[in-house]
Structure 1
Amino acid sequence: MSDIHHYTYRVSWSPEDGEFVGTVAEFPSLSWLSSSQIEAFQGILDMTAGTVADMQANGEKVPDPIADRHYSGRFVVRVTPEQHRELVLEAAEEKVSLNRLVSGRVLVGA
C-alpha cells in the first residue's frame, strides 16, 4: 500500500480561479480549490486519501509515489537524423561524449 504522504503535492495560486489550487503529481486529474493555501493542501490530501481508498476497494492499481520509485538514470530520447548528426558534431568539437553534451544541456534547462 502506498503512503499518501509520500505523494508529490503542490499548492499554487490560480489566477483563472482566483483561489489556491492543490494538486498531486501522481494523480493529474485531481485538484482542490480554496481561498487558503493550507485548506487547498488539506483538501488535496483528503481527496487523494479517498481516491486511493476507492481504488483499493475496487482492486485497481494505485500509483507508487514518485519519491518511492527507483530510477536507473537512463532514458532514451528520439531525435531526427539531422539533429543527431548536429549533436555528434557539437560533441566532437567540444571534445566530450554525446551523452555528456546532452546531459549537460538537460541539466542547464532544468
Structure 2
Amino acid sequence: MSADYRYEAQWSDEDGEFVGLTTEFPSLSFLALTPDEALAGIKSLVADVLRDMARTGEAPPVPTAGG
C-alpha cells in the first residue's frame, strides 16, 4: 500500500538537504543529499511504519487522491 501514497522531495534551506515527505504521514520526513535519496528514504520509512502498524493492528491512512 505504501506505493499508493503521495511522496515528494523538497529542498530545505534550514537543513541544507533535500527532505522526503508524504502527505499521508505528515509527521514523517527523511533528509538526504539528493532528491532521489530523499524519496527512497521516505518510502522505506513509511514501509517500516506500515509494518509496525500491521503488527499492532492499527489501520493505515487511506491514500490521498492522485497518490
TM-score range (shorter-chain normalised) is over 0.9
User: TM-score, with normalisation over the residues of structure 1?
Assistant: 0.58
Larger Rg: 1
Higher relative contact order (CA 8 A, sep 6+): 2
Please give the root-mean-square deviation of Cα atoms over the aligned residues, in Å.
1.1
Structure 1: 5+ residue stretches without partners = 69-110
Instruction: State the aligned residue count.
Output: 66
**Unpaired runs of at least 5, structure 2:** none
TM-score (norm 2): 0.94
Give the partner amino acid of 1:46: S
- The residue number in structure 2 matching 1:36 is 34
Structure 1 segments, 4+ long, off by >3 Å, are none
Structure 1 vs Structure 2: percent identity of aligned residues?
Answer: 45
Of Structure 1 and Structure 2, the greater strand share is in 2
Q: Which has the higher helix share?
A: 1
> What are the residue-to-residue correspondences of 1:47-66 with 2, within 5 Å?
47-66=45-64
Question: Partner of 1:67: helix, strand, or coil?
Answer: coil
